[in-house]
Structure 1
Amino acid sequence: MKSPDHPENETQRLASLRESGILDAGDPARFDRLTRLARRLFNVPMAMVSLVDEESLVFKSCNGLRYASLPRDISFCGHVILSETPLLVPDARNDARFSDNPLVTGEPHIRFYAGYPLRLPDGAMVGSFCLLDHDKRTFTDDDVAVLKDLAAIVEDEFETIAEATTDVLTGLLNRRGFEHLANFAISSAHRRAEPLTLGWLDLDRFKEINDRFGHAEGDVALRQMAQLLTNAFRDSDLLVRHGGDEFGILFSDTDESGAWIAMQHLVEEADAWNLTSGKPWKLAFSWGVTEFNHDDITNLSSWLRAADKRMYAMKKEHQAERRN
């Protein structure tokens, strides 16, 4: 048996998958209707919409099977995300990659598999719309075209879900998307005994930019702040526009001292941008960082308050400096 390789962009791919919100969001009935339709169209006993997470498959629909998830290393779908073309396996018993796979030699006794890759709006390959049969069979070009159309409908649904968790102006996570993924990150960090630190920032004198130069320039400032965040930090860090001119960064596997250094780098990047922007206003911000302590911090809200308190302390210092 050949376990599926990981794509070269695996870290970025997983970040896109989790930031999209589709792992847990979306109406299952919408996907179930499509897999039921696929079973009728192709006369197969099983059809699935799967997402390939770090170690397992997450099923948005699993029609004809009762799996809640499957290990990624024995999955067919893990192979699908490695290519832009569909994976067709007419007879798994005669395919060296799958002949001794436990899903072939045991339940559910897969013999035929056809999987079409599923993408997110940003292009990340995240899963498969797949058909399975207990018997070997052929799959024509016309069949591939129909499966592609069904996959496109699923991708449209992914886009709808992603828009519900994305800030339209900046492209960062919105409050809803961030809260969902931050809670996931907290539980994951606790399970792995890894540090997790929250950076919180608020633009300085943002109201003045709006008042003096207009709201269009205010939007430019917000978009540029989002771009600086994207350029400065890792793909694995969660970035959010929480509301107004307030932004956050969730630093994965990073303690407070490491996050402090990262935020100082962001300040340097903002200073460099101000020197060449040609704008009559400066992009500046106050910030604070707080590491999650599983003993003292009980939930996301209390963590946000702790980070906001530290950010506000710096803002008061900046205001005092301007007065002097």
Structure 2
Amino acid sequence: MAYQNELERLRELEKYAILDTSSEESFDRITRIAQKIMDVPIALITLVDEKRQWFLSKQGITFDETPREISFCTHAIQKDQPFIVHDATQDERFKHNPMVTEAPNVQFYAGIPLKSALGYNLGTLCVIDTKPRDISLDEIDILRDLASIVIDEIELRTIATQDFLTGMLRRQSFMLKANQEMLRAIRYDTNFSIIAIDIDHFKSVNDRYGHATGDLVLRKIADICRSTLREIDVPARFGGEEFIILLPQTDQHDAMIVAERIRKMIEKLVVEDSGNTVTVTTSLGVVDRITCGKNDINSILNMADDRLYEAKANGRNTIVPIIGQCDSSN
């Protein structure tokens, strides 16, 4: 796949819920191997977010992220092939880059895109040297193999049934249940609704109060969602700060009532942690199967996600439903 739709790529990255997570030995082991085999001072697993590149694993540097605008990896994810810079000081694209002119003084860079199962480049496995150098085809093949292992590890995170932090279903398990509900709804000509929920400005909570407080906010919101639902409803943590709820046998009108109840409860939520008082709001998108007129779960989820982002664009702390028939392009 050539350079992807950036909004869709960012959504895909978000749904893996791996940004700003703690370091893990399984990923650190891979960067140590890359560093040693390539005999370089720096090896990284990067994830390219909207305005930054964040390091899922790092060897040879101490900082956790850099602005996206100066990252080599932004260029690397635009390709499906290894991105190689032999001497950045002689490359018009990079010779004035502060990553080159200042520490860590990048001169050589080799990055392998990390392609998700749906074909989106989430980031890279990359190696960096502070002097110009070449790279052999055999070395590129080794980096490709290591990048494949990174993606396998990331994909495996989606397989576990339950999110350890919130106790909700994880993405893969939710999709199994949602597809089952779709088949049942088609067979019996019944309706169901999807509510997509995203915490407004959640990164600022983590940045200001720390990840422990952010985790507590996520757990409290998960508790609110569960407290408003029936036993047949299916809530899940679908991304870092995004939740999805499937409401069987529910039309848009009734789903909006549930969504508004959740929105108000979260708006009133006060989280006390380590002397801090934290409040948050959420943006929500609501879609039902019959109004949407779609008979595959991915299309309906995408519709709900689109409405959620419309809610954010409309000022946040609000709900946007789908009204009337879906566009044929959707």
Task: Confirm or deny a common fold (TM above 0.5).
Answer: yes
2:5 aligns to what? 9
| Structure 1 position 197 matched with structure 2 position 257 | no
Aligned residues: 224
* Shift in CA distance, 101/202, structure 1 to aligned 2, threshold 3 Å: closer
Counterparts of residues 78-97 of structure 1 (less than 5 Å): 78-97=74-93
1:252 aligns to what? 312
1:148 aligns to what? 144
Secondary structure class of the residue paired with 1:252: helix
2:45–2:126 Cα contact (<8 Å) kept: yes
Paired letter, 1:65? I
Q: CA deviation at 1:110?
A: 0.8
Secondary structure class of the residue paired with 1:163: coil
Seq. identity, %: 33
Counterparts of residues 163-202 of structure 1 (less than 5 Å): 163-164=159-160, 165-166=170-171, 167-169=174-176, 170=178, 175-178=235-238, 180-182=240-242, 196-199=282-285
* Shift in CA distance, 175/32, structure 1 to aligned 2, threshold 3 Å: farther
2:17 aligns to what? 21
Compare CA radii of gyration and give the structure with the larger one.
1
1:108 aligns to what? 104
Alpha-carbon distance in structure 2 between the residues aligned to 1:24 and 1:236: 26
2:286–2:319 Cα contact (<8 Å) kept: no
1:264 aligns to what? 323
1:22–1:162 Cα contact (<8 Å) kept: no
Q: CA deviation at 1:227?
A: 4.4
Q: Deviations over 1:39-93 (max 9, x none)?
A: 1111111100000000001110111101111000001011001000111111111
Paired letter, 2:18? I
Paired letter, 1:38? A
2:287–2:322 Cα contact (<8 Å) kept: no
Paired letter, 1:9? N
1:48–1:129 Cα contact (<8 Å) kept: yes
1:64 aligns to what? 60
Secondary structure class of the residue paired with 1:162: coil
2:303 corresponds, among 191, 211, 232, to 232
1:196–1:255 Cα contact (<8 Å) kept: no
The CA RMSD over aligned residues, in Å, is 3.5
1:90–1:113 Cα contact (<8 Å) kept: yes
1:41 corresponds, among 34, 37, 41, to 37
1:11–1:236 Cα contact (<8 Å) kept: no
Paired letter, 2:284? L
Alpha-carbon distance in structure 2 between the residues aligned to 1:109 and 1:182: 37
Q: CA deviation at 1:203?
A: 8.9
Q: CA deviation at 1:119?
A: 1.3
Q: CA deviation at 1:120?
A: 1.5
- Give the TM-score taking structure 1 as reference length: 0.60
Q: Which runs of 5+ in 1 are unaligned?
A: 1-5, 187-194, 205-222, 239-249, 273-324
Q: Which runs of 5+ in 2 are unaligned?
A: 161-169, 180-193, 197-233, 244-265, 267-280
Alpha-carbon distance in structure 1 between the residues aligned to 2:149 and 2:238: 26
* Shift in CA distance, 256/35, structure 1 to aligned 2, threshold 3 Å: closer
